[in-house]
Amino acid sequence: MMKTGTVFLVGAGPGDIGLITVKGLEAIRQADVILYDRLANPKLLEFASSDCELIYSGKLPDRHILRQEKINDLLVEKALAGKTVVRLKGGDPGVFGRVGEEAASLAQYQIPFEIVPGISSGIAAPLYAGIPVTHRDYAESFAVVTAHDKSKDGKPMLDWEGLARGVDTIAFYMGVGNLSFICENLIKHGKTTSTPVVLIQWGTFGRQKTLEGTLADIYEKAVEAKFSNPAIILVGEVVSLRGKISWFEKKPLYGRQILLARTSAGPSELAKALMDKGADVIEFPKWKKINVTIDLENIFSYDKMLFASPESVDEFFAAVMEKRMDIRQIKADFYGHSSKTIKKLNERGFMADLADDLMPLGKCLVVGGECRQTDALVTSKKEIDRQFLPIFKRMLEEAEVNTMIFPSSASVEPFIEGLKECGIEASELLKNTSVVCMGSQSMKAVERAGIKPDGMPASATKEAVVDYLAAGE
């Protein structure tokens, strides 16, 4: 008899992937199946194993990809098949996340489950906008309120008097469509027209937007600004603190929505550096690695060894150690295709030069790449993870990319070919985008591909890229 799997009902937090809990991240890493919502940052899926099944269960205001009943059934079906299942939900699963219904379905079939709390958007988004929801001088009470419910017209049936007179700070979730109704009822039941209000869209993302006003004028401002969900509406005197302690929007790359061409299956230090400085980063393509048997029979006969990527360094030395070979017998001079590759070699105690300085003398081996002019050693193979193509397209639809980064010449062609698999032409996608190249070789490859580069940083390092973008280049 097949053993029943376990289901983890996980809060993904409000958007910034750094706000996922340790327990939530562990659940993602061990999952066989993940059902994820629209508001769960898709970048969290990159922590899943390459063979994890990803199922989109997002909901939009005007349509449902999967209805709640179908989601419940899928959780049961996958768990009964012995799978470890993660239901990944934006924010906290217990705050308007319908986790109670999903847990009840699992309990009905005696399926073991755990509920992993997440940071709720109604608290996190205001903090990223510089507003604590409570403050000893302004607010001693706080309420979270759904701004739409199951009533026929979708307008919330609430204790408006209790909210207006009894609560200092109110966070309405997903309520932009009912903003006028909310303001009218709060004023009608006791809030002054001058009560501060802030709308926070895509809170904790680099594309976070805020709009300030009062109960008297915020609706007109929202219409003029074409403000839309997903957003938190925060009402209360504590909103006035924003001017003093706003911090996230002061980060040097706040507002940068960056598309980063990838050649590696591993995590990107550049992407992390950009996000740490306030940018949104979409990485493409997503790669998965296929291990191969590495033939090291003739490595001692070469005068030069050119490592094609940082990963090729790790894979090469892992194979050498596994075969218990004496690395001291390698007489070759080491070269790297990029500064990151050279750094990897340096970390292992080897001096190395850039490939640009490689002299065409002596017998050369390319490690982890291909070369028509010399021998090559394949350390691993990789292919585009096609399960991520529809995820990437949805990320593009939600974002407004304004910056493109090509970190190496090798990143250009796979990026363009990957876009074609999504039905997207690179020239069309990037026509109003600032294209940044990390080095002269990258710039030449971009130009050969028919894309106009806008510039490059002083050096091909993540620090130089951050400085270049922060300077407004």
- Locate the domains of the chain by residue range: 7-118, 123-246, 257-288+383-470, 294-378
Higher pLDDT, residue 288 or 211: 211
Catalytic position from the list 16, 83, 92, 174: 174
Euclidean distance between CA atoms 307 and 341, whole angstroms: 7
pLDDT value of position 149: 65
Class of domain 7-118 as given by CATH: alpha beta
- Determine how many CB atoms are found less than 10 A away from the CB of residue 353: 16
pLDDT tens digits for 263-301? Answer: 888 889 999 999 999 999 999 999 988 878 888 888 899
pLDDT tens digits for 166-187? Answer: 999 999 998 999 999 999 999 9
CATH of 294-378, one of 3.40.50.800, 3.40.50.2300, 3.40.50.10090, 3.40.1360.10: 3.40.50.10090
Confidence of residue 150 (pLDDT cuts 50, 70, 90): low
The CATH T-level fold of domain 123-246 is 3.30.950
pLDDT value of position 354: 85
Average the pLDDT over 371-382 and give the result.
82
Name the pTM for this structure.
0.86
Q: What is the share, in percent, of the chain residues with pLDDT greater than 70? A: 95
288 included as an active-site residue: no
444 included as an active-site residue: no
Cis peptide before 196 (omega within 30 of 0): no
Residue pair 35/53 in contact (Cβ under 8 Å)? The answer is no
Confidence of residue 2 (pLDDT cuts 50, 70, 90): confident
37 included as an active-site residue: yes
pLDDT value of position 17: 96
Q: Do domains 257-288+383-470 and 294-378 have the same CATH topology?
A: yes
pLDDT tens digits for 432-452? Answer: 999 999 989 999 999 999 999
Strand 33-36 and strand 85-89: the pairing is parallel
pLDDT value of position 70: 93
Mean of the per-residue pLDDT values for the chain? 92
pLDDT value of position 297: 84
Residue pair 387/287 in contact (Cβ under 8 Å)? The answer is no
Q: What is the share, in percent, of the chain residues with pLDDT greater than 90? A: 76
Catalytic position from the list 32, 37, 280, 314: 37
Catalytic position from the list 59, 272, 288, 343: 59
pLDDT tens digits for 213-267? Answer: 999 999 999 999 999 999 999 999 999 999 999 999 999 999 999 999 998 888 8
pLDDT value of position 368: 87
Name residue 21's amino acid. Answer: T
User: Residue 212 pLDDT more than 90?
Assistant: yes
Average the pLDDT over 412-418 and give the result.
95
pLDDT value of position 61: 53
> What are the b/e assignments for 14-50, b being 16+ CB within 10 Å?
bbbbebbbeebbebbeebbbbbbbbbbbbbbbbbbee
Average the pLDDT over 59-82 and give the result.
83
Weakest-pLDDT range from 45-54, 208-217, 338-347: 338-347
pLDDT value of position 443: 95
pLDDT value of position 274: 97
CATH architecture of 257-288+383-470: 3-Layer(aba) Sandwich (3.40)
Weakest-pLDDT range from 63-77, 250-264, 265-279, 312-326: 63-77
